[in-house]
Amino acid sequence: MMHPNCRLETLRLSRCSLSKISCDSLASALRSNPSHLRVLDLSGNQLKDPGDPLCKLETLSLSDCSLSEISCDSLASALRSNPSHLRELDLSGNKLKDPAVKLLCGFLQDPLCKLETLRLKYCSLSAISCDSLGSALRSNPSHLRVLELSGNQLQDSGVKLLCGFLHFPNCRLETLRELDLSENQLKDPGVKLLCGFLQDPLCELETLRVLDLSNNTLQDSGVKRLCSGLESPNCKLETLRLRYCRLSEISCDSLASALRSNPSHLRELDLSHNQLQDPGVKLLCGFLHFPNCRLETLRLRSCSLSEISCDSLASALRSNPSHLRELDLSQNQLQDSGVKLLSDLVENPHYGLETLRQ
């Protein structure tokens, strides 16, 4: 039992070899003194399907805990009885599957639910979960800011269902900060749907800041569609991640053109593990040269680059030296001559470049 004078606000017990017995003991202690604990992290323990100690928790992390549908039923029930405090819920790395998410959506539909962050990465979900989430969020649309669904099998059909919520007239999309759909088998049709809400002024996406579509087979055609959304004055993305998307130099041309037309918001661009090659980086530098470019982080890891790309990048940064802080060119064939060109910029206080990875 917790001491009455205990004022503990954060308790992290991740990867401590805990079991359901530990969780039961913790729940008993919290019931005896529920008023102060705000953050509870039990990730990486084999809890399986415990009762959930909630009280006035604001952050609950139960990732990689071998949970199942039974946990979501218990959790949704507990949250409905005490819905107004929780702001972040992380259930990633559990094989919840679609029926579990449908149970969890019973909590999301509660008008008192104020959840801002929902993480469901690698939960064995399909398009059916997108339908459940879309329905729940249409009934209570105004609070969610971060939605992580990476590492599931949503496919294009799931994105179509999710976009049904994104286009809903009462959807308060100005609150959605981060949308992670990496590793979901998305292709060109799915990107086309995403572009719809990036372009649509009625969706009020002024504050969508982070979009991660990595590990999807977008290819150049998908990125071209995406760029039609990036050109929209309503799009104010700050972070765009497109790792492992089977892109070529054609995508660099599309991105450079789109970003020149709407250049001032993007702060981080990750195109790692695509076959961009030196001509692609040269095209991308057309955006880096642009006076209104505010890019701070550029990641081009394993993009089949040589010292020629270093020359292009060094030239672009010399013409617009103040913003780029981090440049990742690791796992490329840059050679010493290429690295020296960029290392000289790091050492020169006139330039903002602080971190060079090669």
Residue 27 in any domain: the answer is: no
Give the pLDDT score at 244: 92
Q: Count CA within 13 A, CB hemisphere, residue 287.
A: 28
Secondary structure class of 210 (helix, strand, coil)? strand
Number of domains in the chain: 1
pLDDT class of 50 with cuts at 50, 70, 90: low
Find tokens 């929780």 and name the residue: 86
Residue 109 in any domain: the answer is: yes
Residue 61 forms beta bridges with which residues?
A: 41, 90
Residue 121 in any domain: the answer is: yes
Tens of pLDDT, residues 269-326: 999 999 999 999 999 998 888 888 889 999 999 999 999 999 999 998 888 877 889 9
Give the pLDDT score at 137: 79
Residue 137 in any domain: the answer is: yes
Q: Is the pLDDT of residue 83 over 90?
A: no
Residue 161 in any domain: the answer is: yes
**Cα angle: 200, vertex 287, 283; to 5 degrees:** 110
Tens of pLDDT, residues 132-178: 888 887 777 667 788 888 888 888 788 777 777 666 555 554 446 66
Rounded to an integer, what distance in angstroms lies between the CA atom of residue 63 and that of residue 354? 34
Q: Is the pLDDT of residue 199 over 60?
A: no
Tell me which of 245 and 41 has the higher pLDDT: 245
Query: What CATH number is attached to the domain comprising 168?
Result: 3.80.10.10
pLDDT class of 353 with cuts at 50, 70, 90: confident
Residue 13 in any domain: the answer is: no
Residue 341 in any domain: the answer is: yes
Domain of residue 146 covers 73-356
Residue 61 in any domain: the answer is: no
CA distances from 134 to 18, 141, 200, 266, 292 (A): 34, 9, 18, 28, 37
Give the pLDDT score at 297: 94
Tens of pLDDT, residues 225-276: 888 878 877 778 889 999 999 999 999 999 999 888 877 789 999 999 999 9
Rounded mean pLDDT, 197-211? 60
Token duo for residue 138 = 């249409």
Q: Give the length of the chain.
A: 358
Rounded to an integer, what distance in angstroms lies between the CA atom of residue 84 and that of residue 114? 6
Q: Which pTM does this prediction carry? A: 0.79
Give the pLDDT score at 173: 41
Give the pLDDT score at 204: 46
